[in-house]
Structure 1
Amino acid sequence: MTTSDLVVVGAGIVGLAHAVDAVNRGLTVTVVDRDERAVGASVRNFGHACITAQTGEALAYADRARGTWLRLGLAAGFGVAECGTVVVARAAEEMAALDELAALRGHDEVRLLTPEQVAHRVPVEVENLHGGALLPRDLRIEQRRAAGAIAAWLSAQPGVRIRWGTPVLGVEPGLVRTGRGELRARRIVVCVGHDLDRLLPAVAEDAALQRCRLQMLQLRVPGLRIDPAVLTGSSMLRYPALAGTDGARALRERWRAERPDLLDAVVNHMLTQLPDGDLVVGDTHAYARTPEPWSSEQLDELLLAETRALLGRSDLTVVRRWQGTYASADGEFLRAPVGSGVTAVSVTSGIGMTTAFGLAPTVLDSL
């Protein structure tokens, strides 16, 4: 039987964030995961720490997480780029939303761009380009390496054990029962994301937890280089700091008549570039407790059409297609006490990469 100060169930980014903070506190930690490596939302995302477009609690966590990402990138040896985000405005309502956010946040966080300045930073189609904004505090993270590199770094720290390929069968105060034996700890954090209902169904039901199913693409575009993340008008309807503006509300009303396809698919059309030059493009959203297992070619074609229009290019080759899944519930974060010293934690808004390293310290403080 293994005994630790803290057991973390789940070795995705949210679970690893709790383990990293525990190490910083000098605690002994055991991390347990059913798979051999992180294969869920922690690697299927954009690699985008979307800091500036958050509000309230999420913004505070994102601000705190930013410094941790920069330090971990150096310590664990994966890429974290301070390249910011360019938000492209192709309609008057979109530019109005950026004007409002800039007035609220100031030049250090939101730098308005002319159409020429946008085109200088990202190779977008200039026709109908109204301008844009640079969000300089956002980060681009090497998402397909980050979780594995952090786990390897943790494994090298004194007092840390990571048990891969170990399914968890039950959790109760002081005890985690696994398919490979029992783990004991005074503190237990359950970070299994959208699979919370598999382990703690009553907690998931109380939170009305659902799965948000995404469709995403990896595209090859010859000779293309884009350093920052790129957001579009559809992103302004998703991220709260922009969605709360009058400009975004006006855009949504216009799209009800002109672009219902984007609204029906709950599209957040954005892109980031991988180290090999391919683009990660997404995404669509569908919500259900048990989603349908099928991908929709129509949704992939919608994302492709939007990308062709954004870049003004037709030479896009699909390299990979995949579905992502994350937990969704009312509010952005689920923190549910399960018993003495046991807490279930999920980021329920698709911003785990952005906020987890700010959220984890508050959870451990509460324990």
Structure 2
Amino acid sequence: MTRLPEPTALPVSPVDLLVVGAGVVGLAHAVEAVLRGLSVVVVERDAFAVGASVRNFGHICTTAQDGLALTYALAARERWLWLAGEAGFTALECGTTVVARRPDEMAVLAEFAAARGAEQAVLLDRSGVAAHLPAHDPEIVGGAYLPLDLRVDPREAIPALAAWLAARGVPILWRTNVLSVEPGLARTARGDVRAARTVIAVGHDVDRLLPEVADDAGLTRCRLQMLQVAAPGGVRVGPGVLTGLSLLRYAGFASLPAAEPVRDRIGQEAPELIDAAVNLMFTQRPDGDLVLGDTHHYAPTHEPFDDERLAELVLREGARLLGVPELHVRKRWRGVYASAGTDFLDREVADGVRVVSVTSGIGMTTAHGLAAAVLDSLT
């Protein structure tokens, strides 16, 4: 059995900042506050992080963002590299390989590379892709390499951030549910916590605490089908791998005029991929397995029953991408993240009380940049 953490005593004196939620967004705010010399307490309803922060690819997808998300992602990239050394986890400067299997996909990558420059994107021919991805679909015609992207293991990094905070005197109140928040005070299932300012970082569960805020923001839940599979033939792949379907999901690509023909073609050739909003991609874990995904479905509350056809769809496309007949599944899980019409929810709901959520599935990529911006406005 997993040993549950002992309950931490509630702080007697008011703190400068209370953070509700110990996922990547909440921990990022706590880290930024500590670095600014503030006293902090974190309250988390579970015994350890179990949500989107540990169910993701560990792909710090800096380059494919656009606008404010790109600004936050570039800042977060530097914070991840610094924290890796400080907190004792691995952040690999491995980049991302985007593979193209059709000329229209190469056209998107060419337009992207022209706009961003060689520091952010380098075009590859077939042999260049093969150097990054030894096992691959023979239909690949080329691709691009995005050198700024990172990879971390979220199952290692998130606990490491919590431990780093605890070592600096930050109480993390695990297994403590927050019942209500008002200026200067949060009522929890274990008693009251007083703080000058509060950041509520509960991801897709904003509606559990503040339903009116969630409704006004149009916040819903995005459910993902994800799998951990054995690497065929023990292949080693350094960078994260994106595909033509990824060009339709990340704003840095999807906003380009060349992306629309890709969407139209895939919609005609394989409409089931568009219907399931597939983003075919993978990263390699430290143990060599591949994290493969993913599909996207949106609802305020999802039915508890998983459709095996979604897993079969991802496995079919993953095997094709890697040029093998089939893939062996080690683990499978349902990811869930907050979704809204913008990348970020950042709203003051009372004096000194902020609700902050990444609402586009890029929490690992942007949280540290977002947290720095929020702390700038709070302090």
Q: TM-score range by the shorter chain?
A: over 0.9
TM-score with structure 2 length normalisation? 0.95
Structure 1 residue 198 and structure 2 residue 208: aligned?
A: yes
Does structure 2 retain, via aligned residues, the 8 Å contact 1:215–1:283? yes
Within a 5 Å distance, the mapping from 1:104-123 to structure 2 comes to: 104-123=115-134
Report the residue type matching 1:255 in the other structure: I
Does structure 2 retain, via aligned residues, the 8 Å contact 1:115–1:126? no
Question: Which consecutive unaligned segments of at least 5 residues does structure 2 have?
Answer: 1-11
CA deviation vs aligned residue, 1:65-120 (integer Å, no higher than 9, x gap): 01100011111111100000000000111100000000000111100011001011
Structure 1 residue 343 and structure 2 residue 354: aligned?
A: yes
Q: Which residue, 162, 180, 183 being the options, matches 1:173?
A: 183
Task: Name 2:53's counterpart in structure 1.
Answer: 42
Partner Cα separation in structure 1 for residue 157 and residue 48 of structure 2: 11
Task: Name 1:212's counterpart in structure 2.
Answer: 222
Does structure 1 retain, via aligned residues, the 8 Å contact 2:19–2:199? yes
Structure 1 residue 152 and structure 2 residue 163: aligned?
A: yes
Q: Give the deviation of 1:317 after TM superposition.
A: 0.9
Partner Cα separation in structure 1 for residue 205 and residue 278 of structure 2: 24
TM-score with structure 1 length normalisation? 0.98
Report the residue type matching 2:356 in the other structure: V
Within a 5 Å distance, the mapping from 1:2-13 to structure 2 comes to: 2-13=13-24
Task: Name 1:94's counterpart in structure 2.
Answer: 105
Partner Cα separation in structure 2 for residue 118 and residue 169 of structure 1: 51
SS where residue 123 of structure 1 aligns?
A: coil
- What RMSD in Å do the two structures reach over aligned CA positions? 0.9
Q: Give the deviation of 1:126 after TM superposition.
A: 4.8
Structure 1 residue 64 and structure 2 residue 75: aligned?
A: yes
Does structure 1 retain, via aligned residues, the 8 Å contact 2:99–2:129? yes
Q: Give the deviation of 1:212 after TM superposition.
A: 0.4
Does structure 1 retain, via aligned residues, the 8 Å contact 2:17–2:33? yes
Partner Cα separation in structure 1 for residue 273 and residue 137 of structure 2: 21
SS where residue 357 of structure 2 aligns?
A: strand
Partner Cα separation in structure 1 for residue 158 and residue 13 of structure 2: 24
Q: Which residue, 274, 288, 312 being the options, matches 2:299?
A: 288
Partner Cα separation in structure 1 for residue 322 and residue 254 of structure 2: 24
Task: Name 1:139's counterpart in structure 2.
Answer: 150
Which stretches of structure 1, 4 residues or longer, exceed 6 Å deviation after superposition?
none
Partner Cα separation in structure 1 for residue 377 and residue 212 of structure 2: 21
Q: Give the deviation of 1:294 after TM superposition.
A: 1.4
Partner Cα separation in structure 1 for residue 321 and residue 363 of structure 2: 27
CA deviation vs aligned residue, 1:43-79 (integer Å, no higher than 9, x gap): 0000001011001000000000011000111111111
Structure 1 residue 360 and structure 2 residue 364: aligned?
A: no
How many residue pairs match? The answer is: 366
Does structure 2 retain, via aligned residues, the 8 Å contact 1:91–1:130? yes
Structure 1 residue 26 and structure 2 residue 37: aligned?
A: yes
Partner Cα separation in structure 1 for residue 215 and residue 158 of structure 2: 29
CA deviation vs aligned residue, 1:318-338 (integer Å, no higher than 9, x gap): 011100100001100001111
Partner Cα separation in structure 1 for residue 275 and residue 175 of structure 2: 38
Task: Name 2:281's counterpart in structure 1.
Answer: 270
Q: What is the identity percentage for the equivalent residue pairs of Structure 1 and Structure 2?
A: 58
Partner Cα separation in structure 2 for residue 215 and residue 203 of structure 1: 28
Question: Which consecutive unaligned segments of at least 5 residues does structure 1 have?
Answer: none
CA deviation vs aligned residue, 1:210-246 (integer Å, no higher than 9, x gap): 0000010000123111110000000000001111223
Structure 1 residue 73 and structure 2 residue 84: aligned?
A: yes
Does structure 1 retain, via aligned residues, the 8 Å contact 2:22–2:44? yes
Partner Cα separation in structure 2 for residue 265 and residue 124 of structure 1: 25
Report the residue type matching 1:299 in the other structure: L
Report the residue type matching 2:188 in the other structure: T
SS where residue 298 of structure 2 aligns?
A: strand
Report the residue type matching 1:84 in the other structure: G
CA deviation vs aligned residue, 1:184-229 (integer Å, no higher than 9, x gap): 0111000001001001111111111100000100001231111100
CA deviation vs aligned residue, 1:153-202 (integer Å, no higher than 9, x gap): 000114x2111010111001100100111000111000001001001111
Report the residue type matching 1:275 in the other structure: P
Partner Cα separation in structure 2 for residue 178 and residue 31 of structure 1: 12
SS where residue 335 of structure 1 aligns?
A: strand
CA deviation vs aligned residue, 1:7-29 (integer Å, no higher than 9, x gap): 00000000000000000110000
Structure 1 residue 188 and structure 2 residue 188: aligned?
A: no
